[in-house]
Amino acid sequence: MKKSKGTVRLHAPAGIYEGRLYKHVQEYLGIKYAEAERFKKPKRLDESTEVYSALDYGPACPQSVEGLRKGTESEDCLYVNIWRPDEEPVHRRPVMVFIHGGGFNSGSNREALYDGKSLAARGEVVLVSINYRLGMFGFLDAENICGPERAYMKNLGLLDQMEALRWVQENIESFGGDPGNVTIFGESAGSISVTSLLAAPAARGLFQKVIAQSGVITGLARSVEDAVNISDQLIYKLGLHSMNDICSTPAENLVKTTVSFVNKNFTSNGPYNGSRMFAPTPDGEIIPFDVERAIQENAGKVQLLHGSNANEMHFFKLLIPELRQKKSVETYVLFYLRKYEHMSEETTMAVYHDYKKRYPKWSRSQIFMQMFTDRAFRLYHTELSELYSRAGGKVYQYRFSVEVRWLKACHGLELGYLFNTVKTAFSLRNRKLLGINESPGLTRRMQDAWVRFAREGDPGHGDIPEWKQYTKERPETMIIGKKWVPRRHDHAEDDFAWRARLAETYTRPLASRS
């Protein structure tokens, strides 16, 4: 851990913040951006001249009984962290706002993996990371017992994110940032979040660029039907009958029931997929029902960089027991594709045989894992590139293919390299177990690409091959590996297999509440 050189004070409209000074970087932790009352919209804070300590992280949203008891989690969780280069800028710096992942039911900006000192220092950017409400606290659909005036509750976590971006607009100039050049970026649930914000009318003007890492709202949104059913089951399990019941139930009870319910659904025996029980829900107001059209409306205004990892689903071996056993991989993948892609077993097996022809040396479980990765992640990112470029948008696509032992190029692996936190976020034991090591060259090239995109809307730089926009005529993907290689028509034969076997395109309209 880097040693602090002392403290530093900074004046902003929202208050005076005392942070830490490191070599080349100032760090401000746990800055409150809004009030969070249970199941109410985030309440904007008034301007202030008070001095606030910004030396420690704010609490995470409730997600474990242990965290609530320790005080590291709280319903009052709407905080940002900010890192900025120490030297005063000649011109306002680009702003990068990171939204963490965790399946919308776990995670926070407290995690060592997301420490922003390295990226802010190398990139000459102002880096912000935000918290937002999770699980029941951020994505509960309680209309059936609370009425339509509480319809926003199903997307409350997304409203928190928008409020954080408004706070950035009003205060970031005091930190040396340019409120007219804001890039939102996120991974997993954070990636679904930034593409949701790209579709949300109320978020327009709050950012100019988007970086989406492994997750797209068009494929991974929660349907209104699932939002209602999941929420109704949770409300029933808790014995709640009114808004008063929901607001008076101890947070520990809500968390305990939610965690148990989610864990039971990390199996093909549950009716849902545990990682997709909470998510932004197209509702016709906060997120339009026609998500694709809403995204295309931003094509001329917001630039897009996005992609996925080569072996996304290997990460989920850590969460889903069935993916750790070769004999049950097929069972789980068949369940997932039936539930979320409306694919029959016959269609799924036809795709399997298409893959088998192209990858004859792969085992049955290897093919199903790759089908799972492609269907749940890569295909939706390819579709987003096609959708956005077709509307005239500027879009760049990547595929991260750096592999480590057992988990290969899994979901989230790129984050340790991007933030340069492999050594601080993983213990020596876990680094040896996973086979993950620091890679200064990879970190340097990734940071430079992400920062240059944030600054100029183009990720290309002198240390990598030319990175061209993705267009219909030139569908190019940058393969990020030991070497960076631009590739046209990446996995085109696999894409064709899916398109040929499915009667519809990758996404279907999300039904509204009846």
Query: pLDDT tens digits, residue range 192-246?
Result: 999 999 999 999 999 999 999 999 999 888 989 999 999 999 999 999 898 899 8
Element (H, E) at 234: helix 224-238
Residue 514 has pLDDT above 70, yes or no: no
Q: Are 182 and 95 in contact (CB under 8 A)?
A: yes
Distance CA 211, CA 454 (A): 9
Instruction: Judge contact between 119 and 125, C-beta under 8 A.
Output: yes
Residues 337 and 280 in one domain: no
Q: What is the pLDDT of residue 2?
A: 65
Of 298, 326, 346, which residue is a domain's last?
298
User: Total domain count for the chain?
Assistant: 2
User: Over 90: is that where the pLDDT of 4 sits?
Assistant: no
Where residue 507 falls among pLDDT bands split at 50, 70, 90? very low
Neighbours of 269 (CB within 10 A): 10
For the stretch 361-407, pLDDT in tens is 999 999 999 999 999 999 999 999 999 999 999 999 999 999 998 89
Confidence of residue 32 (pLDDT cuts 50, 70, 90): very high
Instruction: Kindly state the tokens that stand for 498.
Output: 């899916």
Task: Find the mean pLDDT for residues 155-182.
Answer: 98
β partners of residue 479: 399, 485
Report pLDDT for 272: 74
CATH code for the domain in which residue 164 is found: 3.40.50.1820
Q: Say yes or no to pLDDT of 505 above 80.
A: no
Decide if 443 is inside a domain: yes
Report, as residue numbers or ranges, the catalytic residues. Answer: 188, 312, 411
DSSP secondary structure code for residue 436 in this structure: -
Bridge partners, residue 9, by sequence? 18
Tell me the pLDDT band of 7, cut-offs 50, 70 and 90: very high
Structure tokens at 140: 């509960």
Residues 409 and 458 in one domain: yes
Closest among 196, 217, 198, 193 to 208, alpha carbons compared:
198
Query: Is residue 90's pLDDT more than 80?
Result: yes
* pLDDT reading at 463 higher than 90: yes
Q: Are residues 135 and 37 in the same domain?
A: yes
User: How many CB atoms sit inside 10 A of residue 276's CB?
Assistant: 22
514 in any annotated domain: no
The domain boundary, picked from 298, 328, 347, lies at 298
pLDDT of res. 256: 93
Render pLDDT for 328-374 as a digit per residue (tens, 0 to 9).
999 999 988 888 888 889 999 999 999 999 999 999 999 999 999 99
Based on the domain organization, do 377 and 461 belong to the same domain?
A: yes
Position 506 pLDDT exceeds 60:
no
Q: Same domain for 328 and 181?
A: no
The answer as to whether 511 is a domain residue is no
Q: What is the dihedral of CA 161, 118, 402, 468, to 10 degrees?
A: 70
Give the residue from 283, 274, 270 showing the smallest Cα distance to 102: 274
Single residue among 298, 318, 334 that ends a domain in this structure: 298
- Same-domain check for residues 322 and 215: no
Assigned domain for 413 exists: yes
Mean pLDDT of the chain: 92
In a domain, 13, yes or no: no
- Is 513 a member of any domain? no
Same domain for 371 and 468, yes or no, is yes
Q: Where are the beta strands (DSSP E) in 175-334?
A: 177-187, 209-213, 303-309
Token duo for residue 358: 């192209």
The torsion angles phi and psi of 301, rounded to 5 degrees, stand at -115, -30
> At residue 139, does pLDDT exceed 50?
yes
Residue 11 belongs to some domain of the structure: no
The residue range of the domain holding 93 is: 18-298
Q: Is residue 9 part of a domain?
A: no
| Distance set, CA 410 to CA 214, 313, 448, 486 (Å) | 10, 6, 22, 20
d(CA 299, CA 348): 33
Q: Looking at the structure, tell me whether residues 288 and 244 fall in a common domain.
A: yes
For residue 306, pLDDT beyond 80: yes
Contact call for residues 43 and 34 (beta carbons, < 8 A) = yes
pTM strictly above 0.75 = yes
Task: Please say whether the beta carbons of 35 and 76 come within 8 A.
Answer: yes
Q: Please tell me whether residues 316 and 293 are part of one structural domain.
A: no
* Residue 509 pLDDT > 70: no
DSSP state of 408: B
Q: Same structural domain for residues 59 and 175?
A: yes
Alpha carbons 467 and 465: distance in angstroms, whole number = 6
Residue 510 scores a pLDDT above 50: no
The band of 414, judged by pLDDT with boundaries at 50, 70 and 90, is: very high
Contacts of 413 (CB under 8 A, 6+ apart): 309, 315, 400, 402, 404, 407, 436
If asked whether residues 247 and 279 sit together in one domain, one would say: yes
Do 437 and 464 lie in one domain? The reply is yes
